[in-house]
Amino acid sequence: MKFFFLLITFLLPTPSLHGWFLDPDLVRIANKSPIELFVAIYYVRNGTGYRTAGPFYLPLDNAVHIELPSPKFLHTRRLIATSTPEELSEEKDLSTMQEITLGLFNQADYTVTLNPMNAAPHICDTATWRTYAPIPTFTPILLAHEPLAAEKEFMIKRMLTTQRAQERYCSQPLTRPLHIGFCASGGGFRAMLATAGVVSGLEQLGILPMIDTCLGLSGSTWFLFPWVLSRLDPTAYTAQLVHWLGQGIIHHIAQQYHDFATIIATKKAHQLYISGIDMYGISLAYTLLKPLHATPLALTTNDIAEVLKPEDYPLIIGSAVTRPQPSDPYEWVTCSPFAMTLLNDHLTVPSALVGAQFHNHQQLTAPPAPLLCYLLGIFGSSFSISIRDALERVPEALQPLLHRILPESWHTKSWINAKITAAKIANPRYKTDHSSHAAIKSMALVDGGYLNNLPLEPCVRASATPYDLLIVLDCKQERPNRIKALRHAVAALKADAPWLPEIDETAITLLPFSVHGNPASGPVVIYCTVEGDEAYDATFNPAADPAYATPRLIYPFERAERLSRYMTQVITSHKEVFESIIKTLGERVKPQL
């Protein structure tokens, strides 16, 4: 026995031997992360962990003492920390986790921090933590339920610009600026070209300087964001754009896949979600951004914010929809160059932090800012499809067969609505009080057309005040769907926008330009569609021409130019109508003598 004791003394350092015999069977675990945590101890063999102690609650800036379970033959003891107790199940695959292994001669004091790359809890012994305490690589922010200061400042300056332009147009001073906005629907390249034509027409009439906000969805955002980046007037930019579309978005495939691999590696390093939208965004970048910038895949919304001067441009906003769980209804999201806003509770995330992880509104990670092309891909991700989408598009003759094959309650299953190619980002409402989605770590972002291809609802709800004049572009080809979308938007806005004038459904079905509301007594909506106009060209009707159908990946120059030129003509041919409306609205807000 004496020989055995001396042998151990020779083989092991004295402090370890001393610790084996004299140290208490307790470990101390301190929480130096910004979130509440839970810890547990597992017996681990061949990668599988069997919980033997815990979960234990680890409060903020506090510590707990845990009694160690005894060693077990052929097993290691592993100390694990997580953000929720549900992650510490009784049996768990720990083959890929690299947390602290507790040996016979263990430390007695540990500290838990967060990895700034991915917000995962990281355990190290306290002595090491004190010596090499991680220096924060960013200053965490708290989320807010109001617009960012930079966006507020932009809008104040833009409204001053629009008021000066309106006073020149009306030839009289105004007590306040008229709130004039532009709202454009989705519709792929058709919507992009129609938006280009309408904005060009507004610029040619001198009305664009009087507009404070432009909100788009899907294809219309493909014009709005690159147009600002181009720093050209909309007519000059459109003249270039129609040439680029001739090559479509499926080109330079080898280089696009190379770029895709680079983006995947970057996202994996930060534990960001990857989907087909990343590749789609690259394709859009090659068509819409590469002609404007030497490094199109480096562009973010910050680059848009840098060139978005209030004296030159309205506030440009894209709209999308999200739902944290497949069974949840969609809700509207708006994305400006400054911020992403969840409109149900007006929770605002700075655009550079879209994708960062938050806990109770506090920032935990600082991944790279999302690429501009990625957001354009989300805005136009109408091809993302769920099982429900596929089943509802099956021919009617096959519907009875499918209903017999599928489970009786398939309509209510969560898997039925999961988008196969949806973009996913970290849920900024995670672990917030009074939120129905506080337990959900991620949320899907897809094309707003899944909720309504006409983004009238987010356009109105994102505005702090009612519009005096709202110019709407509805690019739907199918007349019944155009009416359906409008009714849906008006019903959703019943409580938020009682000022919205009644819109003549017959007019928006048959005409490319119609006026709704009386400027002498209230707000006005000018409604534009892609319907043909016999007075302009009896042979041209983009609403009936299958060449302008969506989806479509390429438009020949002649067709692209014809559509944009036609929509410009729709606007400029109604110069007197615009002049009458704006001057009548101006009369209502002129100073009273």
In the chain, where the domains are located: 21-131, 149-166+178-384+419-588, 387-418
pLDDT in tens, 259-304: 998 899 888 888 899 998 999 999 999 999 999 998 999 999 999 9
Type of residue at 449: G
Rounded to whole angstroms, the Cα distance separating 425 from 333 reads: 13
pLDDT above 70 for 1: no
- Do residues 166 and 582 make contact, with C-beta atoms less than 8 angstroms apart? yes
Fold match between domain 21-131 and domain 149-166+178-384+419-588:
no
The pLDDT value given to residue 4:
42
SS3 133: coil
For CA atoms 221, 224, 225, 230, give the dihedral sign. Answer: positive
Domain 149-166+178-384+419-588 maps to which CATH number in 3.30.2090.10, 3.40.50.720, 3.40.50.920, 3.40.1090.10? 3.40.1090.10
The pLDDT value given to residue 119:
76
Cα 339–Cα 342–Cα 346 angle in degrees, nearest 5: 90
What are the structure tokens assigned to 564, written together? 């944009």
From the list 139, 211, 166, the residue with the least C-alpha distance to 583 is 166
- The CATH-assigned architecture of domain 21-131 is Sandwich (2.60)
The 10 Å CB-count burial string (b at 16+, else e) for 550-581 is beeeebeeebbbbbbbbbbbbbbebeeebeeb
Across the strands, what pairs with 29? 64, 110
CB atoms within 10 A of CB 392: 9
* Percent of the chain whose pLDDT exceeds 90: 52
Identify which of 43-57, 85-99, 404-418 has the greatest average pLDDT. Answer: 43-57
**Helices 557-572 and 188-204, interaxial angle, to 10°?**
40
Looking at per-residue pLDDT, the higher value among 155 and 256 belongs to: 155
State yes or no: cis peptide before 140, omega within 30 of 0: no
What are the structure tokens assigned to 268, written together? 């994996």
Q: How many residues does the chain have?
A: 593
The pLDDT value given to residue 17:
39
SS3 298: helix
pLDDT in tens, 237-253: 999 999 888 877 777 88
| Mean pLDDT taken over the chain | 87
Looking at per-residue pLDDT, the higher value among 64 and 180 belongs to: 180
SS3 372: helix
